Amino acid sequence: MKTVYERADIVPLLAEIFRELGYEGATLSRITERTGIGKGSLYHFFPGGKEEMAGAVLADIDAWFEEAVYRPLRHDDARQAIAAMWTNVNDYFRSGRRVCLVGAFALDDTRERFSAAIGDYFIRWIDALRSALMRAGCTEGEAQTLAEEGVCCIQGALVLSRALRDETVFSRSLETLAKRLGAATR
Amino acid sequence: MKTVYERADIVPLLAEIFRELGYEGATLSRITERTGIGKGSLYHFFPGGKEEMAGAVLADIDAWFEEAVYRPLRHDDARQAIAAMWTNVNDYFRSGRRVCLVGAFALDDTRERFSAAIGDYFIRWIDALRSALMRAGCTEGEAQTLAEEGVCCIQGALVLSRALRDETVFSRSLETLAKRLGAATR
DNA sequence: CAATATTTGTACCGATCAGTAAACTGATAA
DNA sequence: TTATCAGTTTACTGATCGGTACAAATATTG
């Protein structure tokens, strides 16, 4: 019996492990242990080792957000895209049970390895949200402040709901946020 | 030449290392390398090893917040204590250049080791802030929401300002937050 | 001063780390 | 059938991991 993978199947598995254990905590042996994928296969797909694995995961996450969140915010109906963001984000982060890997990497030394990817992810999120807010009627300054605040609170809510082991904190924060941004665009 | 430490001198040094490298990233050899304190001394003061070191750091952090933030929020003049919180927190986190170790631990597997300490820290922060808000004139529900939101945004601002390498994000978030809580209490 | 207790430096332990090498498997296709 | 090739398994490397043992150095006390 021998299971055959391709790169695209492995990346989401790696993502979940990095999320749970962090970059330093995700050792090669724990990865093989949790996925059943041997070192040989891992190094076959990611010759650059752990760093390339994490890089691929970050790129995958970025691509998902680009398509599901940023692009709609930039190009679709503004109010609709913002509303979709709340539900997409709540689903994606599993009501706070799942962590934002980009945010987690930003907090420790791992930031130095992936500085560009981490900065980009948040810059583009804030920019996209600001764009939607302006199209929905905010001034540029107001939109910038609210966009920053929105992304900021999402990250904080992930920390807080995990710390308190209370997923209602996350969903509740999103609702409060949705109301505030909604009030500013009508 | 031989330097002699006591436990109380070592804990803040450890704190800075755990902050920068995270729990898994803070290896014994990196600790001795950055502090100049040998393994012999470390295990003399912390027989429980790395886990006891991190525990001592968390207790130290908790004690600082209890005295500088929570107690004033619970017992001193409410408006004054809240105002002091913003400046204390901004200084403590060095305008976002320094990370909240408790929040960082909450994001990965390290949470399992220090679950109680992590939960307590945030519970008590939120409770203390809610107490002050109520004494300043908020209803209980309003105070609870605002307190949660305050702590939540501080954590998010730390993530965001580190990710963007922009400390103005942190200070700006605190100002926005201060205004919102100020408006709710007059 | 001498005796005792505390603190530190060094050498070491087995386990695990990231990474390498190469034999092996199974499918595709000439 | 045979050659090729992507992918897997296994065994291995040297380095580093957290932790221990203990003697040397220093403080403290008598």
Query: Distance from residue A19 (CA) to nucleotide D4 (C1'), in Å?
Result: 39
Q: Which of A25, A115, A156 sits opposite B152 (nearest CB)?
A: A156
**How big, in percent rounded to 5, are the helix, strand and coil portions of chain B?**
80, 0, 20
> Is A107's CB within 8 Å of B159's CB?
yes
Q: Tokens 């995270």: give the residue.
A: B22
Reported as a single tens digit per residue, the pLDDT across A147-174 is 999 999 999 999 999 999 999 999 999 9
Asked if residue A172 is part of any domain, the answer here is yes
B115 phi/psi in degrees, rounded to 5: -45, -50
Asked if residue A20 is part of any domain, the answer here is no
Residue nearest to nucleotide C19 (CA to C1'): A49
Give the closest-approach CA distance of A129 to chain B in angstroms.
Answer: 15
∠ CA B114-A100-B118, rounded to 5°: 15
Q: Tokens 């619970």: give the residue.
A: B74
For strand C, is any atom closer than 7 Å to the CB of B35?
no
Residues of chain B neighbouring A157 (CB-CB closer than 8 A):
152, 156
> Is A163's CB within 8 Å of B20's CB?
no
Give the closest-approach CA distance of A155 to chain B in angstroms.
Answer: 5
CATH of the domain at B131: 1.10.357.10
A178 class by beta-carbon count within 10 Å (0-12 exposed, 13-18 middle, 19+ buried): middle
- Quick one: which of A31, A93, A36 has its CA closest to A65? A93
Asked if residue A9 is part of any domain, the answer here is no
| Residue A164 Cα distances to A74, B91, B104, B121, angstroms | 34, 25, 13, 9
Are B66 and B60 in contact, with CB atoms under 8 Å apart?
no
Q: Chain B residue closest to A96 (CA)? A: B107
- Quick one: which of A171, A167, A161 has its CA closest to B152? A161
Q: CB distance from B104 to chain A under 8 Å?
A: yes
What distance lies between CA B80 and its chain's CA centroid? 20
Q: At what angle do helices B140-163 and A167-184 cross, to 10 degrees?
A: 90
Q: Is the pLDDT of residue B1 over 60?
A: no
Q: Which of A107, A111, A153, A158 to substitute to test the interface with B, most B CBs within 10 Å?
A: A107
Reported as a single tens digit per residue, the pLDDT across A68-92 is 999 999 999 999 999 999 999 999 9
Q: Tokens 């987690």: give the residue.
A: A104
The conformation of residue B76, written as its DSSP 8-state character, comes to S
Residues of chain B neighbouring A176 (CB-CB closer than 8 A):
145, 149
Rounded Cα distance between A173 and A152, Å, is: 11
Which stretches of chain A are DSSP H helices? 7-25, 28-35, 39-45, 50-65, 71-75, 78-92, 101-107, 110-113, 115-135, 140-164, 167-184
**Mean pLDDT score, A104-121:** 98
Domain that holds residue B137: 59-184
* Residues within 8 A of B (CB atoms), A 6-65 only: 19-25
| Residue A67 Cα distances to A48, A64, A104, B37, B96, angstroms | 27, 5, 22, 50, 30
Asked if residue A44 is part of any domain, the answer here is no
Asked if residue A81 is part of any domain, the answer here is yes
Asked if residue A27 is part of any domain, the answer here is no
Query: Distance from residue A113 (CA) to nucleotide C21 (C1'), in Å?
Result: 28
Q: Which of A20, A115, A155 sits opposite B156 (nearest CB)?
A: A155
Q: Which of B154, B163, B164 sits opposite A156 (nearest CB)?
A: B154
- Quick one: pLDDT at residue A1? 54
Protein-proximal positions, strand C, CB < 7 A = 7-11, 16-23, 25-26
Q: Which two tokens stand for residue B84?
A: 């002091």
**Mean pLDDT score, B68-81:** 98
Are B138 and A179 in contact, with CB atoms under 8 Å apart?
no
Neighbouring residues of B18: CB distance < 8 A, sequence distance ≥ 6? B26, B53, B54, B57, B101
A37 phi/psi in degrees, rounded to 5: -95, 125
- Quick one: pLDDT at residue A3? 78
- Quick one: pLDDT at residue B153? 98
Rounded Cα distance between A141 and B164, Å, is: 19
Are A128 and A70 in contact, with CB atoms under 8 Å apart?
yes
Residues of chain A neighbouring B147 (CB-CB closer than 8 A):
none
Reported as a single tens digit per residue, the pLDDT across B15-66 is 999 999 999 999 999 999 999 999 999 999 999 999 999 999 999 999 999 9
∠ CA A64-A171-B59, rounded to 5°: 100
- Quick one: which of B117, B131, B156 has its CA closest to A169? B156
> Is B21's CB within 8 Å of A154's CB?
no
Asked if residue A36 is part of any domain, the answer here is no
* pLDDT band at B168; cut points 50, 70, 90: very high
Rounded Cα distance between A32 and B29, Å, is: 26
Asked if residue B10 is part of any domain, the answer here is no
Give the closest-approach CA distance of A49 to chain B in angstroms.
Answer: 17
Domain count, chain B: 1
Reported as a single tens digit per residue, the pLDDT across B117-166 is 999 999 999 999 999 999 999 999 999 999 999 999 999 999 999 999 99
